[in-house]
Every structure is written in C-alpha cells, then in structure tokens.
Amino acid sequence: MKRSERVIRILKTLTDNPAKRYPLGHFAASLGAAKSTISEDVSLIKQTLAQMGRGTVDTVLGVAGGVRYLPGSDCARAETLIDQLCDALSKPDRILPGGFLYIADIVFSPVWASVIGELFAERFRASEAEYVLTVETKGIPIALCTAQSLGVPLVVSRRDARPTEGPSVSINFVSGSSGQIQTMSLPKRALRPSSKVLIVDDFMKGGGTAKGMTELASEFGAHPIGIAILIEMAQPERKLVSDYMSLAVLKSVDAHSRTVDVRPSKRMLL
C-alpha cells in the first residue's frame, strides 16, 4: 500500500473519532506496515494539519500511548470565524418585535455548531472535562459539537423532570433575564460524582442559567471546570457568574434605527 493511501485511511479514522487514542500498532496491523512507517505517516498528517491551521495529531509513546486527532483552529482562522459570526448576527433582519434577536438559524446550523464546538473544545482542552453539560434547547447543538471535539459525553438538563428519564435531581434557579424562578432537572445517572464538567450555553444575559447549571453539577458532586457561552449581552455588566468565556458580545439591538451591535468578545481567551 502506498503512503498516499495509508494517510487517507489513518486521517479518516482519526478525524471520525476526535480525541480517541489509537495505538500505532492498530494502524500497523490493519495497513500491513511497520510501526516506524505508520509513525512517519502520522508525522506527515500532523505537519499538514498544522499548516492548514486545522487541529493537531497528538502522539504519546509507550504501552498506553498512541495517536489521536484534536480538532482545532489556529488563531488567524479562529479570529476570522468569530468576525464572520458577528457579521452574521449583526444583520438587521434578525431584529424581532420586543428588541429580541433571531439566532435560531445560527445555533441550529450544523456548520456553525461544528465551528463553535471546535473553538470551545480547543479553549478548554487542557481542563480535561469528562462531560459537557447544557440545558435544553438552543444550546444543544453547540454543546454536542463541543463534546464531540473533546471526545466526551453530552448531558442535557431539562426544564422539568420526565418519567422517561427516571429518578432525577432538580434545582430551582433565578433566571437573570426574567427574574423568575425556574427549574432544571438532570437524571441521577447522567453525571458521575467527582467528574469534571464543562458548561455550555448559547446565550447569557444575567448569568442565572449558567449559575443554575454550576449548582446542578455541584448537586452531583461534579466539578464545573469552565463555562463557555456563544453570545453574552453587554448589559447587565455584572453577571451572576464571574468565570466564563464567550465568543461574541451583544451590545445593543435598536429596533428604531434597525441596527444590531455584536462584537467579538474580549472573553475569548484564545
């Protein structure tokens, strides 16, 4: 088998299973090549992905070692993507009655969800989250893609406990935007105690929902290691959580002048 065919097989296998580690011997056996040859193939893949700014291949030597693909973007690409996101969000036809901004097409877009998931995953990769946690509904696609890029399960809390999900833990929280008391529930078996959890949501106004999710995780004895938000509102400046990252800041929606002001967030920490 030629190198060009081997790299196709290795790259496809690795990128289909982000963050999953494959021993070099796995490819050596299935492709009928020496480990040293596979190692050279992997180096070429790693080098080429780096030049494309499209993630990396991480190699660990030794018995428990192997190679894995870690999705990502270089800084230039990440900045471009976030600028494009802010442009897309700033379109005046997104303005809804009541000064709301229509974002459903973006948060449910497979293309955007996958880009955003990669950006979140890369930012929090080092924290070694064991779960991604979100609350239904609009945060689910970006949370799913973040979990996929990290190679961990997604856990979705619901607005109410369901008989179809079994014994659940529910908490009440004060929504930062409406000021009302709301409930979120998570099946008891969904989160392992003491596990590390990354919290993801599409939108933050006051931070009540994000705070609720950290409290819910704590009820399971789990440890929130970070909060990743797609769009935060500039006001109120003081949120109910302090330690979070966001990609974009919504400064204002002016229905009268038909303008939306969305900018890249300073809390990107890329």
Binding positions for its own copies, rule: CB under 8 A:
2-5, 7-9, 11-12, 15-17, 41, 44-45, 48-49, 52, 54, 96-98, 100-102, 104-105, 108-111, 113-114, 136-137, 140-141, 144-145, 147-148, 153-156, 158, 163-167, 187, 189-190
Whole-number minimum distance, CB 242 to its own copies, in Å? 25
Spatial distance between the Cα atoms of 252 and 235, rounded to a whole number of angstroms: 9
User: By C-beta, is 62 or 110 nearer to its own copies?
Assistant: 110
Whole-number minimum distance, CB 117 to its own copies, in Å? 9
Whole-number minimum distance, CB 73 to its own copies, in Å? 11
User: By C-beta, is 44 or 268 nearer to its own copies?
Assistant: 44
User: By C-beta, is 43 or 243 nearer to its own copies?
Assistant: 43
Residues in the chain, total: 270
Spatial distance between the Cα atoms of 92 and 9, rounded to a whole number of angstroms: 45
- Residue 220 CB coordination number (10 Å): 20
Q: Which residues of 148-185 are buried (b: 16+ CB within 10 A; e: fewer)?
A: bbbbbebbbbbeebeeeeeebbebebebbeeeeebebb
User: By C-beta, is 51 or 63 nearer to its own copies?
Assistant: 51
- Residue 261 CB coordination number (10 Å): 14
Whole-number minimum distance, CB 243 to its own copies, in Å? 25
